[in-house]
Amino acid sequence: MTGKPPRSGPGRATTRAPSLVLVNTGDGKGKTTAALGTALRAAGRGLRVCVMQFLKSPSWKTGEAKAGRELGIDWWTLGDGFTWDSKDMARTQEAAIDAWSAARAKIASGDYDLVVLDELTYPVTWGWISEDDVVDALRARPAHTSVIITGRDAPAALVDAADTVTEMVKTKHAFDAGIKALKGIDL
């Protein structure tokens, strides 16, 4: 390691917002993992949390859903599975549209301090869900409701509407070497 430790930080925050919109995007692993880490943090602070999953199927038994529910997080897995496995793309699209309708209602309800919209960028990018509708829902949300959106290729309108955007960059991924997802690590 070279150099010296920094002597100053990135600056000081001067205001406190009642809520934030965060977008985790990019080709690297960790978008959902980071969002769920924030959901865990929020639940640990006694905040009301809701996770809405847009692609994962309710038939999948994932560790994050099990743990989240045990922590009192409202968990909705509303997708039809990965689109590349879909045998009925019209049904897959309809599931995503229905999931957005439910998510929009959860955001607007004021019942939650944090709503995670896992993999929302995909149906928005594919034109199944209007990015203008998503931005309108973000702008109209109750003042105390934070929202995290995950997925690759976040549209510019979602990036612009966000307070914080993090792009995960893939340097190397086990899947590229033919290694399947590992329970407890990937699902």
Domain assignment present for residue 102? The answer is: yes
Domain assignment present for residue 133? The answer is: yes
Domain assignment present for residue 3? The answer is: no
Task: Identify the pLDDT of residue 99.
Answer: 95
CA distances from 1 to 4, 6, 171 (A): 9, 13, 20
Distance of CA 155 to the CA centre of its chain: 14
Phi-psi region at 76: left, alpha or beta (left = phi > 0; alpha = psi -120 to 50)? beta
| Whole-angstrom distance, CA of residue 187 vs CA of residue 53 | 13
Domain assignment present for residue 118? The answer is: yes
Number of domains in the chain: 1
Looking at residue 93, which CATH number applies to its domain? Answer: 3.40.50.300
Q: How many CB atoms lie within 10 A of CB 68?
A: 21
Domain assignment present for residue 93? The answer is: yes
pLDDT digits 0-9 by tens, 23-56: 999 999 999 999 999 999 999 999 999 999 998 8
What is the pTM (predicted TM-score) of this model? 0.90
CA distances from 153 to 8, 75, 150, 186 (A): 33, 24, 10, 20
Task: Identify the pLDDT of residue 126.
Answer: 93
Which string of DSSP letters, residue by residue, matches 48-92?
-EEEEESSS-TT---HHHHHHHHTT-EEEE---S-GGG-S-HHHH
Distance of CA 166 to the CA centre of its chain: 12
Which residue from 160, 140, 150 is spatially nearest to 117, judged by alpha carbons? 150
Token pair 């879909």 in the structure block, residue: 86
Token pair 């038939």 in the structure block, residue: 59
Domain assignment present for residue 84? The answer is: yes
Domain assignment present for residue 128? The answer is: yes
- Element (DSSP H or E) covering residue 150: strand 146-150
Domain assignment present for residue 49? The answer is: yes
Range of the structural domain that residue 159 is part of: 21-169
pLDDT digits 0-9 by tens, 54-106: 988 777 788 899 999 999 999 999 887 666 666 788 888 999 999 999 999 99
Task: Identify the pLDDT of residue 84.
Answer: 64
